[in-house]
Structure 1
Amino acid sequence: MSHQLAVIGTGVIGNGWIARALAQGWEVVAFDPDPSAETRTRVFVENAWPSLTRLGLAESASLDRLRFADSLDAAVANADLIQENVPERLALKRDILANIDAAAAENVIIGSSTSGFKPSDLQQACTKAPGRVIVAHPFNPVYLLPLVELVGGTDTQADQIDTAQAHYKALAMRPLVVRKEIEGHLADRLMEALWREALHLVNDGVATTEEIDAAVVYGCGLRWPLMGTFLTFHLAGGEQGMRHMLEQFGPALKLPWTKLEAPELTDELIDRVVEGCEHQAAGRPVVELDRRRDDFLVELLDLVQKYWPEAEGLEGRI
């Protein structure tokens, strides 16, 4: 049985959803008011297709299963799942989600790709079936990275989250149900903490962007794909595990090493960050860096699957 995904907004994230759904054999109907949207989307998907092919395509996967609708109502008319990806402006998202809610059948889940807003805030202008409007936050590149954070709002029922989990699993994703609404959800809050520290280190002249990236790539970053934060520290405690680690290193948490607030984005800091990144890119266009990243992720995902094929004890939550 064929599934149909409606994608509203076709920027980098929206196009990532499109590529993933096509690779899984879904029909995709997209809507974006930009006249150049369809051309950009088809170029994006064609560029992603080699990596998706290496990762493994569904038997019915085809680029021909994508079409663009001429209106939002037409895009969502027969959808089994709807994904909203418009810019991160709350008023805009509320307006678009209210229009989608009014147009779509009331049993269809509407996922927002928002990286920061809470679902209860997104549901406020929806009057038909607000509970089915949830956060479904993916990670770039969406067509390769499997995590999607699912967050329900005030009006969301447990069965709606269950339905959402089933749909995203059918897209070969790993849904992580976030227990409580919180700005930034889970993963982005963790990434933002590292990002703030990195900006401070650049701003204070402690390190360049390249040196900070090297510290992640050749240090902590190598452990994170397998163990994440907590299990990594559990091993740091030796045979006694986390309890010994906290007893030994816990007092250091009180030391004023960390910078909890981001530094002011002065022109000088912006220039340092931009110049550092341009030095690292070494003149290579973004499309070339995208392909290099994708090739790496395909191989890395094979390793993750080999060593952590299923998160034991987390069935139904991830």
Structure 2
Amino acid sequence: MPSSPCAPEEVRRVACVGAGVIGGGWVAHFLGRGYDVTAWDPAPDAEEKLRRLVDAAWPALTQIGLADGASPDRLTVAATVEEAVADAQFVQESAPEKLELKRSLLAQLDAAAPPGVVIASSTSGYPMTDMQTEAADPGRLVVGHPFNPPYLIPLVEVVGGERTDAAAVEWASRFYKVAGKSVITMERELPGFIANRLQEALWREALHMVAGGEATVKEIDDSITEGPGLRWAFMGPCLTFALAGGEGGMGHMLDHFGPSLKSPWTRLEAPELDDTLRAAMVDGCDEAAGSRTIAQLVAERDQGVIDVLRATGRLPRQRAEGTDAITHTPSTMGDEK
């Protein structure tokens, strides 16, 4: 991999390829951080949907603090992939999770982007080793895995593939931090990465409980939002369990509760997603949502995330109107604690 054309702190133009829920969320995030963003998506109505997503995200971005010069007007929607990345200083790919599509698109981006520019994939599960096989310069391809919505959830997991240059991983990690993210730079590839594997275990158990008639969708969601989710917002599961051991910490907790690990409480094999289970999940979510529309639920989620981030000290307290906007340096939202 040739040297990157600029340092992470000098990036001003970002290309986002793929503008669905995740790609559009990245667009909103980068716009909120004051970057010029060029986006591309093959859908005929992509631009209309993207600008609608940015408009919906802007109130939340305004609450957490916009960078100097941040504006939706700094978004350009390109007609082709080549146009989107022609003058990009960083590229974020967020295409659907189809391996052959990822391979061909990353190769196309590699051929079109300026030499040395780092290209990151938002993949939620594929190792970069499996995706970089067709690229002429695989050394600059990394994974930058976000969580939805990328404009609010701080986490991004960064990892390279077998043919990725270590300098590209380091550069991407620095760039994401400058861009206001909380970064985990993984030392090795892991299918599904870290957070998704933990989230997937909880999701599979939820599906088993619904499939077996053991709990409703609402009961499952309430069990998290009114229970362990409140602790997980500021303290992860390992440290939380350590406190269950009292003054003896994790050692006492493992000695005391360790035998229960042999109890058949969890079923990590996924249940069969048949028509009955699918209908139960869809109907359960409809019932839980009540009269709230998707747009109303998104606004409720965004406000909830902001409130939690602010309450746990990862965002400044509410600012008085007219105060200075944050600058292009990492915010407390991006600090690793």
TM tier, shorter chain? over 0.9
What is the TM-score normalised by the length of structure 2? 0.89
What CA deviation, in whole Å up to 9, does each residue of 1:233-284 have, x standing for no partner? 1100000100000000011111122102011012111111111110001021
Q: Distance in 1 between matches of 2:287 and 2:47?
A: 33
Q: Is the 8 A contact 2:11 2:89 kept in 1?
A: no
What is the aligned-residue identity percentage? Answer: 48
Q: Distance in 1 between matches of 2:142 and 2:313?
A: 28
Greater share of helix residues, 1 or 2?
Answer: 1
Runs of 4+ deviating beyond 2 Å: 303-307
Q: CA RMSD in A?
A: 1.8
Given residue 257 of structure 1, which amino acid in structure 2 is its aligned partner? W
Counterpart in 1 of 2:86? 77
C-alpha displacement of 1:153: 0.6
Q: Which stretch of structure 1 is more off in the superposition, 154-163 or 216-225?
A: 154-163
Given residue 188 of structure 2, which amino acid in structure 1 is its aligned partner? K
Change (3 A) 1:310 1:287: closer
What CA deviation, in whole Å up to 9, does each residue of 1:214-244 have, x standing for no partner? 1111111110011111100110000010000
Q: Is the 8 A contact 1:20 1:143 kept in 2?
A: yes
Given residue 204 of structure 2, which amino acid in structure 1 is its aligned partner? R
C-alpha displacement of 1:303: 2.2
Aligned 1:102-117 pairs, distance under 5 A: 102-117=111-126
Picking from 19, 43, 50, the partner of 2:52 is 43
Aligned 1:50-199 pairs, distance under 5 A: 50-127=59-136, 129-199=137-207
* Residue 202 of structure 2 corresponds to residue 210 of structure 1: no
Counterpart in 2 of 1:273? 281
Structure 1: unaligned runs, 5 residues or longer = none
Counterpart in 1 of 2:310? 302
Q: Distance in 2 between matches of 1:193 and 1:235?
A: 22
Given residue 282 of structure 2, which amino acid in structure 1 is its aligned partner? V
Q: Distance in 2 between matches of 1:137 and 1:304?
A: 23
Which one has more relative contact order, counting CA pairs under 8 Å at least 6 apart?
A: 2
Q: Distance in 1 between matches of 2:220 and 2:300?
A: 20
Q: Is the 8 A contact 1:2 1:27 kept in 2?
A: no
Given residue 232 of structure 1, which amino acid in structure 2 is its aligned partner? T
Q: Distance in 2 between matches of 1:232 and 1:270?
A: 33
Q: Is the 8 A contact 1:19 1:48 kept in 2?
A: yes
Given residue 141 of structure 1, which amino acid in structure 2 is its aligned partner? P
SS at structure 2 position matched to 1:200: helix
SS at structure 1 position matched to 2:156: strand
Q: Is the 8 A contact 1:85 1:112 kept in 2?
A: yes
SS at structure 1 position matched to 2:150: coil
Q: Distance in 2 between matches of 1:106 and 1:249?
A: 54
Q: Is the 8 A contact 2:17 2:23 kept in 1?
A: yes
Structure 2: unaligned runs, 5 residues or longer = 1-9, 316-330
Counterpart in 2 of 1:17? 26
C-alpha displacement of 1:306: 5.0
Q: Distance in 2 between matches of 1:97 and 1:272?
A: 38
Q: Distance in 1 between matches of 2:232 and 2:94?
A: 28
Given residue 63 of structure 1, which amino acid in structure 2 is its aligned partner? P
Q: Distance in 2 between matches of 1:62 and 1:170?
A: 18
* Residue 235 of structure 2 corresponds to residue 227 of structure 1: yes
Change (3 A) 1:230 1:310: farther
Aligned 1:255-270 pairs, distance under 5 A: 255-270=263-278
How many residues are aligned here?
Answer: 313
